[in-house]
């Protein structure tokens, strides 16, 4: 239960942990003498992996990371997003694995997601030609012996603007801030709190319409992983053996999004401004979070993005 003796000003951060100002959160309820109780922590109903299953996830995620490293040399001005998709398909199928996105929900038409500039996520590869100054998120999910490896990176194409550079850095650092914030038996809400706090330092917005997710034999499963301090899903407990993604989408402008009416998949920022995202698959172990999708050639914790 919250401390009812603490008096907050209207512009103070609310006691509930939402990150919102008190006047826009619980002030009205408190003033009417109807104090809200903090929700009890929810016993996790997520699948917990044993050591054999954990190793299967490590292998799937390792394969997915190899694919990301393979692609990075091709992300240059002049390549089409369709060509990126073809490279993903050829590499994956030649090794006997499966692209999880193809046919997802019986309708997604490609082997990966390519989301340039103002595309937030789920960008369908096509005729778009990458140009100098673009940023593009490439989201890969590979099924290896029935287990899913999932990750994404935002790439700089040629020389990008200063604001694009700051946005990409913020998204990357937000992801790592969230990873660093959790430990065995943390609540999911700690992930959203860390992301919201870091993005707020840049004055950028955090997309709330899409979130991270549990992963394993299924592409998407519990727990839900919101990237903002959600009071409902946020009470889930991250027990050892739970596997999930952290994948904050950070927008230069509004957090609001819209879905392309033609393809039914591609998600754009509502104001047409840039969006950036990074994603890792995380296994919570007895000793802390283990990043399963770390590449050998890609950015690691503490990396600074430059135009060099």
* Least confidently predicted of 20-24, 37-41, 157-161, 295-299: 37-41
Is 279 within 8 Å of 247 (Cβ atoms)? yes
Instruction: Give dist(CA 55, CA 90) in Å, integer.
Output: 25
- Tell me, what's the pLDDT at 45? 73
H/E segment holding residue 23: none
The structure tokens 């008096």 sit at: 7
pLDDT digits (tens, 9 = 90+) for 101-137: 999 999 999 999 999 999 999 999 999 999 999 999 9
SS3 40: coil
User: Mean pLDDT across the chain, nearest whole number?
Assistant: 90
- Tell me, what's the pLDDT at 4? 32
* Least confidently predicted of 3-7, 22-26, 105-109, 150-154: 3-7
The sign of the dihedral angle between the CA atoms of 106, 109, 113, 118 is negative
- Tell me, what's the pLDDT at 190? 98
Q: What is the mean pLDDT of residues 58-84?
A: 98
- Tell me, what's the pLDDT at 46? 83
Is 279 within 8 Å of 246 (Cβ atoms)? yes
DSSP conformation class of 149: E
Q: What are phi and psi of 38, to 5 degrees?
A: -65, 135
pLDDT digits (tens, 9 = 90+) for 229-279: 998 899 999 999 999 999 999 999 999 999 999 999 999 999 999 999 999
Examine the pLDDT at 72 and tell me if it is beyond 80.
Answer: yes
Quote the Cα angle for 96-137-222, to 5°: 70
Examine the pLDDT at 42 and tell me if it is beyond 70.
Answer: no
Q: How far does Cα 36 stand from its chain's mean position?
A: 30
The structure tokens 């099924």 sit at: 143
Of residues 25 and 94, more confidence is placed in: 94
**pTM summary value:** 0.85
Instruction: Give dist(CA 81, CA 79) in Å, integer.
Output: 7
pLDDT digits (tens, 9 = 90+) for 132-176: 999 999 999 999 999 999 999 999 999 999 999 999 999 999 999
Is 257 within 8 Å of 267 (Cβ atoms)? yes
* Domain edges within the chain: 1-38, 51-291
Domain 51-291 has CATH 3.90.230.10: yes
């Amino acid at each position: 239960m919250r401390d009812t003796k603490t008096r907050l000003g209207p512009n103070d951060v609310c006691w509930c942990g939402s990150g919102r100002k008190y006047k826009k959160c619980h002030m009205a309820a408190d003033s009417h003498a109807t104090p809200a109780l903090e929700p009890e922590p929810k016993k996790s109903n997520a699948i917990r992996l044993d050591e054999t299953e954990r190793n299967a996830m490590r292998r799937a995620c390792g394969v997915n990371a190899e694919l990301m490293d393979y692609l990075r040399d091709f992300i240059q001005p002049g390549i089409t997003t369709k060509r990126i998709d073809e490279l993903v398909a050829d590499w994956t199928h030649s090794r006997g694995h499966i692209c999880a996105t193809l046919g997802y929900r019986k309708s997604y038409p490609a082997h990966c997601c390519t989301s340039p500039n103002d595309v937030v996520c789920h960008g369908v590869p096509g005729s778009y030609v990458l140009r100098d100054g673009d940023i593009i998120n490439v989201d890969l999910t590979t099924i290896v012996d029935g287990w899913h490896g999932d990750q994404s990176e935002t790439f700089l194409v040629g020389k990008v603007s200063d604001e694009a550079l700051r946005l990409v850095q913020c998204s990357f650092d937000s992801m790592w801030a969230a990873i660093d914030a959790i430990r065995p038996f943390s609540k999911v809400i700690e992930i959203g709190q860390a992301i919201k706090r870091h993005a707020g330092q840049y004055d950028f917005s955090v997309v709330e319409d899409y979130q991270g997710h549990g992963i394993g034999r299924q592409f998407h499963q519990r727990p839900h992983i919101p990237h903002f301090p959600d009071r409902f899903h946020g009470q889930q407990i991250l027990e050892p053996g739970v596997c999930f993604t952290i994948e904050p989408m950070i927008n230069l402008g509004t957090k609001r999004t819209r879905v392309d009416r033609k393809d039914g998949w591609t998600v754009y920022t509502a104001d047409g401004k840039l969006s950036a995202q990074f994603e890792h698959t995380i296994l919570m172990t007895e000793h802390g979070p283990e990043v399963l999708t770390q590449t050998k050639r890609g950015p690691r914790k503490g990396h600074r993005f430059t135009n060099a």
